[in-house]
Amino acid sequence: MAFLESNAQTARALQGMRSMLPLLPGIIPFGLIAGLTPITLGYHWSDSILASIWMFAGASQLAAYQLIGEGASIWVILMTVAAINLRYVLYSASMAPFLTDASRPVRLLAGYGLTDQIYAIAHRDFPVNTWDLSERLAYYFGGTLVIWLLWQSCVLAGALLGQVVPAMWSLEFMIPLTFLALGLSTLKTTAHRMAAVSGALVTYLGLDAPLNLGLIAGALVGITVGVLSKRVLHAS
């Protein structure tokens, strides 16, 4: 940790790493699946690890792979990735006050490293401590380094595993199963369930639409139905 200038920074970096530990087991299977699925679609393990290094956003990686496999248009792929990653705008807004005084390269690196996990622990620990910028950065990058290394290791392991698993095992089916489990976990209220059902229905009806536009239509209808259902249900 030679790059850390003071004991306070080292302590914060270690604290960030420690705080991240309980959140790590959950990402291991997803990392393996994210590494493996590009291989099941006919790509090389090097494609898989490179894509994971520059995207570094689990669920949207899976969505991009599935859509690439279906031959979707680049715009549909980008819109879907944007939709899945839209939550980062909220995280970004919440982290901004703690990071805006850093230099631009550091801010960009912090943006790249933003995950559900680092957001969860930084959002918890930044407001209640009187750390200076260098301490906050040490904490943020300490935690991020740990999850980044574990994620990419799992992706690499999954990719290498994928090279030896025969196609007939149909491991590409783990992508929709993962979205199923992630999606079902978000169905908290009636409005959320309405959003999911209507979005799925429109996507199903639009399966033969060109360029996978049925998926975009389904997402937009689902979101709209969700918002309107909530208004109606709250009004009544």
Partner 1 sequence: MHPEFLWTTAACALVTIALKSSFIEGSRHIHLPRWFREALEFVPPAVLIALVVPGVFKGQSSLEAALGAVAIDPRIVAAAAASAVYWVTQRTMPTLGAGMACLYGAYWLQL
Tell whether residue 192 is a contact of partner 1 (CB under 8 A).
Answer: yes
Spatial CA neighbour of 76 closest among 65, 67, 88: 67
Answer for which of 6, 46, 163, 190 binds partner 1 (CB under 8 A) is 46
The contact pattern for partner 1, residues 105-144, with x = CB under 8 A and - = no contact, is --xx-xxx-x------------------------------
Q: Which is nearer to partner 1, 14 or 157 (CB)?
A: 157
Q: What are phi and psi of 29, to 5 degrees?
A: -60, -40
What does the angle CA 139 – CA 140 – CA 144 come to, to the nearest 5 degrees?
115
Tell whether residue 160 is a contact of partner 1 (CB under 8 A).
Answer: no
**How many angstroms separate the CA atoms of 79 and 145, rounded?**
28
**Residues 54 to 93 in contact with partner 1, rule: CB under 8 A:** 54-57, 59-61, 63-64, 66, 68, 70, 74, 77-78, 80-93
Residue 105, judged by CB atoms within 10 A of its CB (0-12, 13-18, 19+), counts as: exposed
Tell me how far, at minimum, the Cβ of 89 lies from partner 1, in Å: 5
Secondary structure (3-state) at 26:
coil
Answer for which of 24, 183, 211, 213 binds partner 1 (CB under 8 A) is 183
Tell me how far, at minimum, the Cβ of 40 lies from partner 1, in Å: 7
Block residue for tokens 């990058």:
141
Candidate segments 11-19, 130-138, 148-156, 180-188, binder of partner 1 by CB under 8 A: 180-188
Q: Which is nearer to partner 1, 17 or 116 (CB)?
A: 116
Residue 157, judged by CB atoms within 10 A of its CB (0-12, 13-18, 19+), counts as: middle
Q: Which is nearer to partner 1, 114 or 147 (CB)?
A: 114
